[in-house]
């Protein structure tokens, strides 16, 4: 049978529901969960979800712990605020994550690493670390090609790992900026990367705007990257 993977992405889903006001407190979280396919499958295949028992108490304890952990993650990341230990309110960073369909972990990375002094090289590294690029494949034999391309890009990568998605993403982004010709497989990967990069960069601009009251260098760089990516998409 098909099983639910909601528990692996529950933090992002709860954040989106808080932003949309579907969830306004912890009890709403529980009520919302009971309408999901995940809840239906809990009692049907408890071992799959690491559920210790199928009694009402077991299920309530399991859901309560899952919700508490998720809310704590969002609160620590400053995506939501928790009032009187019950009521849940969206914050700007949570709204940004929901609007751009980004994982909450990305927003945390942006917030911790972006500042008014961030330069293009660091900005590209931060973009490439976005979890959306975990899907970028490293095919057999590509490491040597990536190694060669890394010598042609403008912003050299310190300690590159040519078998990791973030290194490949960084290289292919820079190949786009410099119009470096690519083999068909890399050109395909580059199109996927650019599609994700557009909304990731736009989210970064918003994160910077929340953090700083004036237009900063990272914002300018981000807008430049976004415009270039959009221009390619339209061609």
Which pLDDT value is given to residue 218? Answer: 65
CA pair distance 133, 150, nearest whole angstrom: 18
This prediction has a pTM of 0.86
Taking CA atoms, 182 is separated from 18, 155, 192, in Å, by 43, 18, 14
Choice between 215 and 20, residue whose per-residue pLDDT is larger: 20
Token pair in block for residue 106: 């990305």
Which pLDDT value is given to residue 140? Answer: 92
- Confidence label for 235 from pLDDT (cuts 50, 70 and 90): low
């Amino acid at each position: 049978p098909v099983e639910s993977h909601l528990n692996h992405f529950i933090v992002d889903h709860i954040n989106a529901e808080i932003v949309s006001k579907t969830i306004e407190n912890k009890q709403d979280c529980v009520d919302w969960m009971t309408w999901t396919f995940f809840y239906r499958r809990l009692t049907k295949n408890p071992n799959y979800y690491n559920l210790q028992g199928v009694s009402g108490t077991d299920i309530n304890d399991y859901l309560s712990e899952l919700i508490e952990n998720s809310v704590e993650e969002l609160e620590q990341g400053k995506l939501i605020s928790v009032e009187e230990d019950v009521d849940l309110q969206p914050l700007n960073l949570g709204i940004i994550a929901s609007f751009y369909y980004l994982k909450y972990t990305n927003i945390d990375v942006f917030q911790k690493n972006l500042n008014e002094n961030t330069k293009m090289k660091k900005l590209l590294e931060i973009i490439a670390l976005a979890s959306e690029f975990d899907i970028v494949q490293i095919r057999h034999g590509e490491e040597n090609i990536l190694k060669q391309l890394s010598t042609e890009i403008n912003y050299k990568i310190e300690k590159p790992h040519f078998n990791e998605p973030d290194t490949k993403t960084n290289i292919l982004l820079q190949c786009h900026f410099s119009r470096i010709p690519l083999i068909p497989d890399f050109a395909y990967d580059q199109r996927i990367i650019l599609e994700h990069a557009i909304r990731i960069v736009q989210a970064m601009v918003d994160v910077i705007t929340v953090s700083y009251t004036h237009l900063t260098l990272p914002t300018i760089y981000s807008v430049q990257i976004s415009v270039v990516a959009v221009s390619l998409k339209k061609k």
